[in-house]
């Protein structure tokens, strides 16, 4: 056999192994996506089961999001130098266990605590999984590899969340979390079988990464854009079930269809984001933020018209998913040497958006403005996020006219 043929077979074998590894990582994304979003579909059932109001039950969504925000810097700090596969297995094992704890919660306080604990491994898993996926492919395919991992989260909203929502409505909301615990165990098996052993960076320490990361102004601007601009999606998604039944006047049996539309939008947007990343990460972010504003306006306007709302629901998450993937790539680019922290902190920022959106949505609903009012909150948040991204672009352009030595810019000729 010729050297060329041998090399071709080796390349094919490497690509196959990389594809299976990325698939295993994406199943983890599917597990996390199903867990994170199923509460939106069974929120009335959760509220009835723990004997609180729907807006109060919405706070368990915020508790999960806050867990993500707290968990990312802590777990990234201690995990910067750990082997990647072992870290992934530990994170997913804890995730499955906390889903089981959610299923057996007997009170609002216990459920909120379980959701907070379950959120802790979320961002660190996606951050490490993104790094592993990017390391398995050529540089020009990095955006598509990261998008493939995120696609697991998107597909969860097409298959996992509607299925778990249906199970929750038919059997009880606790069964939804039992299902997601089982998915966590499946992920453990796949990661152990297909993800190669990849050492951590022995020179990386949590302290050095944190110092490099958090003294970078572009890091703060990028995270702020995600934390604010992405909040609108969660403002409307958190209350999609009562919006469909109370505002649109449709039966509760069609809620899974609207949840499915959210998921299909995520799949389409995540795929599109991988393609747009090869064109321009920053332009993709600006376009997604700007496009969110009129879509939120359309959600508010069309919500009372029943099925007319369905394509708007699709558009909300399609545009939002373009932002998610490109925010991930943007943070990985601007993080410098703090690669572990940079890959993970996007999910902390997005879950600040989750907590902020769900909370603000509950505030305007409780104030008497109705279940479609969170869409106006979403439009305002998107406008603020767009402003932050424009500022980031200006800072980036000005910095591009200088070379950086330490912390001080030195003008180039």
Tokens 């306006």 locate to: 297
Task: Kindly state whether residue 234 falls inside one of the protein's structural domains.
Answer: yes
> pLDDT exceeding 90 applies to what percent of the chain?
28
Q: Which of 250-264, 309-323, 350-364 has the highest mean pLDDT?
A: 309-323
Query: Mean pLDDT, to the nearest integer, of 263-279?
Result: 84
6, pLDDT greater than 80: no
Cα 244 to Cα 54: distance, rounded to the nearest angstrom: 14
Task: Identify the H or E element spanning 246.
Answer: none
Task: Identify the H or E element spanning 408.
Answer: strand 408-411
Query: What is the pLDDT at residue 2?
Result: 56
300, pLDDT greater than 90: yes
Task: Kindly state whether residue 5 falls inside one of the protein's structural domains.
Answer: no
91, pLDDT greater than 90: yes
Query: What is the pLDDT at residue 66?
Result: 83
218, pLDDT greater than 60: yes
Query: What is the pLDDT at residue 404?
Result: 35
Query: What is the pLDDT at residue 49?
Result: 85
Average pLDDT of the chain?
Answer: 83
Query: What is the pLDDT at residue 137?
Result: 81
Task: Kindly state whether residue 232 falls inside one of the protein's structural domains.
Answer: yes
Task: Kindly state whether residue 159 falls inside one of the protein's structural domains.
Answer: yes
Task: Kindly state whether residue 4 falls inside one of the protein's structural domains.
Answer: no
Query: Mean pLDDT, to the nearest integer, of 242-257?
Result: 86
**What is the rounded end-to-end Cα distance, in angstroms, of the chain?**
55
Q: What is the CATH number of the domain that holds 188?
A: 1.20.1250.20
Query: What is the pLDDT at residue 401?
Result: 43
Query: Mean pLDDT, to the nearest integer, of 78-93?
Result: 85
Residue 411, strand partner residues = 402
Query: What is the pLDDT at residue 383?
Result: 93
Q: Which of 246-250, 264-268, 307-311, 408-412 has the highest mean pLDDT?
A: 307-311
> pLDDT exceeding 70 applies to what percent of the chain?
88
Task: Kindly state whether residue 29 falls inside one of the protein's structural domains.
Answer: yes
Query: What is the pLDDT at residue 237?
Result: 83
Q: What is the pLDDT of residues 106-142, one digit of tens each?
A: 888 999 999 999 999 988 898 889 888 888 887 777 7
Left if phi > 0, otherwise alpha if psi is -120 to 50, otherwise beta: which for 251? Answer: beta
Task: Kindly state whether residue 412 falls inside one of the protein's structural domains.
Answer: no
In the chain, DSSP finds a helix count (H) and a strand count (E) of 19, 2
Other beta carbons within 10 angstroms of residue 298's beta carbon come to 18
Q: What is the pLDDT of residues 186-214, one digit of tens each?
A: 999 999 999 988 776 665 556 666 776 77
Helix (H/G/I), strand (E/B), else coil: 410: strand
**Residue-number span of the structural domain to which 186 is assigned:** 11-401
What CA–CA distances, in Å, run from 152 to 36, 47, 184, 255? 13, 28, 13, 22
Query: Mean pLDDT, to the nearest integer, of 58-76?
Result: 82
Query: What is the pLDDT at residue 408?
Result: 37
Confirm if 410 and 403 have CB atoms less than 8 A apart. Answer: yes
Task: Identify the H or E element spanning 346.
Answer: helix 339-364
162, pLDDT greater than 90: no
Task: Kindly state whether residue 324 falls inside one of the protein's structural domains.
Answer: yes
Query: Mean pLDDT, to the nearest integer, of 237-262?
Result: 85
Query: What is the pLDDT at residue 344?
Result: 75
- Look at the chain and report how many structural domains it folds into: 1
Q: Which of 89-93, 104-108, 244-248 has the highest mean pLDDT?
A: 89-93
């Amino acid at each position: 056999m010729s050297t060329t043929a041998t090399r071709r077979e080796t390349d094919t074998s490497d690509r196959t192994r990389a594809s299976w590894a990325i698939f295993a990582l994406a199943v983890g994304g599917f597990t996390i996506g199903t867990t994170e979003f199923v509460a939106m579909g069974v929120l009335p059932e959760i509220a009835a089961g723990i004997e609180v109001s729907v807006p109060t039950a919405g706070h368990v969504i915020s508790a999960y999001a806050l867990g993500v925000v707290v968990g990312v810097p802590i777990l990234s700090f201690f995990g910067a130098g750990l082997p990647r596969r072992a870290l992934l297995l530990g994170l997913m094992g804890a995730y499955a266990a906390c889903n089981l704890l959610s299923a057996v919660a007997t009170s609002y306080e216990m459920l909120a605590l379980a959701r907070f604990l379950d959120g802790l491994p979320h961002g660190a898993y996606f951050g490490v999984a993104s790094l592993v996926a990017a390391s398995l492919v050529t540089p020009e395919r990095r955006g598509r590899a990261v998008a493939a991992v995120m696609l697991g989260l998107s597909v969860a909203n097409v298959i996992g969340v509607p299925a778990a929502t249906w199970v929750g409505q038919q059997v009880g909301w606790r069964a939804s979390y039992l299902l997601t615990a089982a998915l966590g165990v499946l992920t453990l098996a796949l990661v152990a079988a297909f993800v190669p052993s990849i050492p951590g960076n022995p020179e990386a320490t949590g302290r050095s990464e944190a110092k490099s990361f958090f003294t970078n102004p572009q890091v703060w601007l990028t995270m702020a854009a995600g934390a604010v601009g992405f909040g609108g999606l969660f403002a409307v998604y958190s209350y999609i079930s009562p919006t469909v039944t109370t505002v649109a006047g449709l039966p509760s049996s069609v809620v899974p269809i609207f949840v499915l539309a959210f998921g299909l939008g995520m799949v389409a947007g995540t795929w599109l984001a991988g393609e747009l990343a090869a064109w321009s990460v920053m332009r993709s972010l600006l376009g997604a933020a700007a496009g969110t504003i009129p879509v939120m306006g359309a959600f508010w306007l069309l919500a009372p018209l029943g099925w007319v709302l369905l394509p708007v629901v699709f558009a909300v998450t399609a545009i939002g998913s373009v932002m998610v993937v490109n925010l991930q790539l943007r943070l990985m680019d601007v993080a410098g040497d703090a690669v572990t922290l940079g890959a993970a902190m996007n999910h902390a920022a997005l879950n600040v958006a989750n907590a902020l959106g769900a909370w603000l949505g509950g505030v305007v609903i409780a104030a008497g403005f109705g279940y479609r009012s969170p869409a106006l909150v979403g439009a305002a948040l998107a406008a603020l996020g767009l402003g932050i991204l424009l500022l980031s672009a200006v800072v980036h352009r000005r910095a591009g006219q200088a070379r950086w030595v330490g912390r001080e810019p030195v003008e180039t000729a």
